[in-house]
Structure 1
Amino acid sequence: MQRNVLETIMGAVVLIAAAAFLYVIYSGSGIKEDRGGYSLTVRFDRGGSVLPGTDVRISGVKVGAVTSQDFDPKMFQAVVKLNIRSDVELPKDSSAIITSDGLLGNYYIKLEPGAEDDLLKDGDQVAHAQGALDLVELINKFVVGGSDTKKEESATP
């Protein structure tokens, strides 16, 4: 009889630990970030490295999250929707850049506030955007031949 009680207690501990683990994963995922704040749209030429839940930061501090990502077949761009905290007011000439924490760090969207007096409102689009750098492409350019000027110089008699 004592063994059944011990097994029941151990099972309950495992279930509580699993529930706590799921709560930590859910709270850190950014899924609930779309409540409150306001929505902005950003168009990137290369936006594949950000997914829903990706951080949006200003000066290294999280101020929002990516809520969705889509593709515009007419402009051939990634359309990324952001949710920004309501206490963060951004000028209309602000810019968005996809960057990473380090060489192999996680990607996030860095917002750089502009200097205009007019502010972005709910549903506005960030005018200036720079997509993520492709590290493999940069390494390939370095290894294969660098810039096109070397090829032009070698072709000149």
Structure 2
Amino acid sequence: MAWSIEINLPENRDNKGTLKMYANGSVIHTCACLGRGSECPDHTQWWATNGDTPTGSYNGTLIAADTNVYSYGPYKRINLEPTGGHALEAAQAGRYGFMIHGGDPADTGTPWYPLRPTHGCIRVSNADQKKLAELVTANGGTGYIGIYGTQKERP
């Protein structure tokens, strides 16, 4: 794979994490990201619908922009296909639709501003989403995404 993304998320998903994109082993972009779900505010139910983004491995491909600019931003998104770890367990439990996408909020009074929770995706700023889409296009094909952080085991 010509490109990859490494995402490191804090245990407290109210705080932002870091996304690093690599091409041929070199860092080509770094930005803040949020892996906080809109449901399950105690951050323990990563397998639940709309919970925090599950840690694990994914294959990523670029997909078209969505017409819902508020939720997804105006640029192409990176679709995440779970391949291992909690990501694959969550998919086997019925979760789907994982992506890296934009969608800037208007509310400036939250600890995660300028990002906001999703339904289980990784949110980046619209400017960073534009850059990521450009870099995926330039480097082509499917990439590897590793999402790392502390998550409790499913009961």
TM-score when scaled to structure 2? 0.25
**Who wins on radius of gyration, i.e. which is larger?**
1
Judging by fraction of residues, say which structure has more helix: 1
Structure with larger RCO (C-alpha < 8 A, sep 6+):
2
TM-score when scaled to structure 1? 0.24
